[in-house]
Structure 1
Amino acid sequence: MFKKWFGKQPPKEETIVAPLSGTIVPLEDVPDPVFAQKMMGDGIAIDPTDGDVVAPVDGEIIQLFPTKHAIGLRSEAGVELLIHVGIDTVSMNGEGFTAYVKAGDRVKRGERLLSVDLSLVRDKAKSAVTPIIITNGDALAYLEKKAEASATKGETILLHVQTK
């Protein structure tokens, strides 16, 4: 079959894997209304069991917050993701966070991005639950959330998307 697209690239599919190991939490259950009400975009969350954060896709780091509590990526298919480690962790001013990448770096799925002292996060922040948000949802034609109970970083598929 012959297909032709006019004015833009053909749709691309993307599989997004877990950036952390832990228990999968529906976004609506995240203890922060900005995430729970999807004000920043749709996605999923993980209550982490270890502090290693890995790249959920092949792509580019587009933002690393100065406090290292959040990181933005753009996948090869153009999907923009925000990994926000914990709730109210910005107030920790980077304490307990170590970054292994910087804005502009190219990363492969499973490559380590951050390490986090989870016991410190649980002590000093509201929650360690980590939202994984698609911030450019308007570019998507399709979003499927996988219904797993737990996630293994770099392996468990969380989301399957298709761009417009």
Structure 2
Amino acid sequence: MFKKLFGRHKEADNRMYSPVTGTVIPLKNVSDPVFSSGVMGEGFGVTPSDGNILSPVTGTVTMVANTKHALGFTMDNGLEVLIHMGVDTVDLKGKPFTISVKPQDKVSGGQEIATMDLDQIKAAGLDNVIIVVITNSKDKLAKLDVETGDHRAGDFVGTTEVKS
């Protein structure tokens, strides 16, 4: 009865999307040991073939690093997601990145959020892998399924399941 009076209850989007065109790889295969060890949470990496970065989830932007190399999101289901663009790119002080969102913005999975200049990152001798991790995995994540392999930016690549 209440659904008819107040509208439909919106289901949380539990999907993960490829943040960039490239090859989705298991998190354990990324070159940064802080991420590959799983200490930051469960997730995946993407070896990019271009620098157009899309949101890996539907939710709210909660953080944009001063150095523009990382953004945080909170999904409607409570999962906290970090997208980290490149390894050791914090040292580049934001130069290869253009961010098009700000904290408190609502985003949809696959929505454009940033660009990164892959040539600048390569010229600096750094790994340009995009890392997506659920930082509150230990507390909130029951299951993460991700399909590795080649994907286009915005492709559905996985699902999350929250602990009850």
The TM-score, its normalising length taken from structure 1, stands at 0.87
State the distance in 2 between where 1:143 and 1:96 align.
Answer: 30
Match of 1:40 in 2: 40
Question: Contact 2:56–2:132 at 8 Å: present in 1 too?
Answer: no
State the distance in 1 between where 2:24 and 2:107 align.
Answer: 24
- After superposition, residues 3-152 of structure 1 pair within 5 angstroms as 14-137=14-137, 138-146=139-147, 148-152=148-152
Match of 1:3 in 2: none
Q: Which runs of 5+ in 1 are unaligned?
A: 1-11
State the distance in 2 between where 1:71 and 1:145 align.
Answer: 20
Percent of aligned pairs with the same amino acid:
35
Match of 1:160 in 2: 159
Offset at residue 44 of structure 1 (A):
0.5
After the TM superposition, which segments of 4 or more aligned residues of structure 1 sit over 3 Å from their partners? none
Offset at residue 71 of structure 1 (A):
0.5
State the distance in 1 between where 2:131 and 2:145 align.
Answer: 16
Question: Contact 1:141–1:163 at 8 Å: present in 2 too?
Answer: yes
Offset at residue 78 of structure 1 (A):
1.6
Listed one character per residue, the Cα deviations across residues 83-125 of structure 1 (whole Å, up to 9, x for unaligned) are 1000000000000110101111111222111111011111115
The alignment covers a number of residue pairs equal to 152
Question: Contact 2:42–2:135 at 8 Å: present in 1 too?
Answer: yes
Q: Which amino acid aligns with 2:39?
A: M
Offset at residue 158 of structure 1 (A):
2.5
Match of 2:8 in 1: none
Q: Greater shift after overlay, 90-99 or 122-131?
A: 122-131
The TM-score, its normalising length taken from structure 2, stands at 0.87
Question: Contact 1:99–1:114 at 8 Å: present in 2 too?
Answer: yes
Please give the secondary structure, in 2, of the residue aligned with 1:131.
Answer: strand
Please give the secondary structure, in 2, of the residue aligned with 1:120.
Answer: helix
State the distance in 2 between where 1:21 and 1:78 align.
Answer: 26
Q: Greater shift after overlay, 49-58 or 65-74?
A: 49-58
Q: Which amino acid aligns with 2:114?
A: L
State the distance in 2 between where 1:58 and 1:30 align.
Answer: 24
Please give the secondary structure, in 1, of the residue aligned with 2:14.
Answer: strand
Listed one character per residue, the Cα deviations across residues 21-79 of structure 1 (whole Å, up to 9, x for unaligned) are 10112211111110110111111000101111111222100000011100011112222
Offset at residue 145 of structure 1 (A):
2.1
Please give the secondary structure, in 2, of the residue aligned with 1:67.
Answer: coil
Q: Which amino acid aligns with 1:115?
A: T
Q: Which runs of 5+ in 2 are unaligned?
A: 1-11
